[in-house]
Amino acid sequence: MKELKIQPIKDGTVIDHITPGKALTVLKILGTTGEEGDSVISVAINVSGKSGKKDIVKIENRELDPKEVDKIALVAPNATINIIRNYEVAEKHRVSVPDEIIGIVECSNPNCISNTNEPVETKFIVKSRHPLRIRCYYCEREPEDIPSHIR
Ligand code: CTP
Ligand code: ZN
């Protein structure tokens, strides 16, 4: 069987080794709803890789900013970010979940100080990585569905 499912790209970013089924969440994080911009995006869901199934997202002519990479780490902890320049993989980075997640996830507790008018950035402490469990530094609430609280 022929391996190539989607074409190589000339310039841009390949997000590889995305947890199977999470590609659309990654697209949501990137704000690529299909309504804005004209960058070409290819998505592969549930393709077989060297170590089982995975999703892949390829974005042409665009590199990601560090905040986007941090968000992707929360939904696809094994993803790699491959920067492609002139068809070559110029850089390859593994995403990583930091020990503290600051300003990325909203607390689900409406009474949390991070949800009031106080100028307090959200902050979560990572309790475990596999599976990912995080706890609000301020009110100790643990969000159950982390992707839905990424802002
Ligand atoms: N890729 C691409 N276009 C290119 C070059 C690479 O779409 N011009 C894609 C590959 O298909 C792969 C990813 O970018 O999904 C990383 O490429 P490469 O490092 O060559 O693949 P692997 O060695 O298999 O990567 P890894 O070891 O990280 O699995
Ligand atoms: Zn809280």
16 CA closest ligand 1 atom index: 15
The model's pTM is: 0.90
pLDDT on residue 3: 59
* Residues 39, 64 contacting (CB under 8 angstroms): no
* Residues 59, 43 contacting (CB under 8 angstroms): no
Ligand 1 neighbours (beta carbon < 6 A): 8-9, 14, 16, 56, 58, 80, 82, 84, 87, 89, 92
For 75-131, the pLDDT digits (tens) are 999 999 999 999 999 999 999 999 999 999 999 999 999 999 889 999 999 999 988
pLDDT on residue 31: 84
If you ran DSSP here, which 8-state letter would residue 149 be given? Answer: G
Q: How far apart are the CA of 88 and the centre of ligand 1, in A? A: 9
Give the tokens for residue 142: 């643990």
pLDDT above 90 (res 14): yes
For 25-50, the pLDDT digits (tens) are 999 999 865 555 678 999 999 999 88
Which one of the ligands is nearest to 50 CA?
A: 1
Query: Residues 6 or more apart from 39 whose CB is under 8 A from it?
Result: 12, 32, 59, 60, 61, 62
50 CA closest ligand 1 atom index: 29
Tokens 């190589």, residue?
8
For 46-63, the pLDDT digits (tens) are 999 888 999 999 999 999
- Pairing of the two strands 123-129 and 100-102: antiparallel
Kindly list the protein residues that place their beta carbon closer than 5 angstroms to ligand 2, a single-atom ion. Answer: 107, 109, 112, 136, 138-139, 141
* Interatomic CA distance for residues 139 and 77, integer angstroms: 25
